[in-house]
Amino acid sequence: MKLSRGKAIIDIEGTFVNIYNSFVLKGEIFMNSLKGRVAIVTGASRGVGKGVALGLAEYGATVYITGRTEDGKELPHFLKDTNIYKTSEEVTKLGGVGVPHKCDHSKDEEVELLFKRVIEEQGRLDILVNNAWGGGIHAMQEYFFNTPFWKQPVSLWDDNFTVGVRSNYVASSFAAEIMMKQKCGLIVNISFYGGRRYMNNVTYGVCKAAVDRLSADTAYELKDYGVPVFSLYPGQVSTEGMIEYAKYDSNIDLGKMESPQFVGRCVAALANNENAIIDTGKVLITGEVAERYGFTDIDGKQPKSLRSELW
């Protein structure tokens, strides 16, 4: 079994760094186990949130899976089998410990109860991934794309920011109270390229830009406590919805997409890096994180960064 030290590379901000003496095994990052580490992943009933939970589960983490969906009977047919309990079961099957927790992230009192539960049951919190997004109910409407902002409902703004920006701030506040006392932890805000360039609509872009600024400024205030914060940009992801849409649109190439679980592997890599604080506050891209830490997607492919196309 051959192990080698990580090599010096150029990071995504163009700075000359090394891979913090990570060990690489046959192209895969030789991670320390996340067994005993505790994570909260918001909006993890399906999609990227579920994938993050599964990626952390691969390394043995205990994952609190939040969401509103306990029974998907009222959802579209391709989402009926998605809920917090299904995700929890899959987390446990992969070697982690899945803990479902129903939570509406637009309600601060429910979020507070979530964090109280975690501390009462685990005594610590190591990872928070803010993924919940309230814009999904709008994304399936025609006005979401190619419609000027003055013709879109104001509720699009409200829903994007209530669960997607404000909710990230609230959850991060509760997490920070815990992590600053521990002098360790990790907060990851799932964002996207709309924070850097026009994409979909005005509200979407402003929301993602706000998430990125939230990451940068919370990172600044948490740095002295040893708690790194990042915005993480996935590529095109083969979520349940994308798989369904591909049935009707031949232009959608699922083979070129990242799996949701790949995003989770990126979070796991960051959580296992004791020197992640060096890059705190930055926007990271999943494809570049994988290249930096030396791991692939679940199908063995190496997803590419979309920086050149979308940055």
**Residue 121: CATH number of its domain:** 3.40.50.720
- Which residues span the domain enclosing 64? 34-309
Other beta carbons less than 10 A from residue 77's beta carbon: 8
Residue 14 lies in a domain: no
pLDDT digit string (tens) for the chain, length 311 residues: 333 334 433 343 343 333 333 333 333 444 448 999 999 999 999 999 999 999 999 999 999 999 998 887 778 888 888 999 999 999 999 999 999 999 999 999 999 999 999 999 999 999 999 999 998 889 889 999 989 999 999 999 999 999 999 999 999 999 999 999 999 999 999 999 999 999 999 999 999 999 999 999 999 999 999 999 999 999 999 998 899 989 999 999 999 999 999 999 999 999 999 999 999 999 999 999 999 999 999 999 999 999 998 98
Residue 75 lies in a domain: yes
Closest CA to 69 of 57, 56, 54, 79: 79
d(CA 289, CA 267): 9
d(CA 210, CA 198): 14
Residue 207 lies in a domain: yes
Residue 27 lies in a domain: no
Amino acid identity, position 304: K
Q: What are phi and psi of 142, to 5 degrees?
A: -60, -35
Q: Give the count of domains, the chain.
A: 1
- 271 in Cβ contact with 37 (< 8 Å): yes
Residue 25 lies in a domain: no
Within 78-200, strands assigned E span 97-102, 127-130, 186-190
Residue 8 lies in a domain: no
d(CA 56, CA 85): 16
Q: Which residues are catalytic?
A: 204
Look up residue 78 and give its two tokens: 């391709």
| Rg value, the chain, Cα | 18
Q: What are phi and psi of 190, to 5 degrees?
A: -75, 125
Within 142-255, strands assigned E span 186-190, 229-233
Residue 64 lies in a domain: yes
Other beta carbons less than 10 A from residue 138's beta carbon: 20
Residue 9 lies in a domain: no
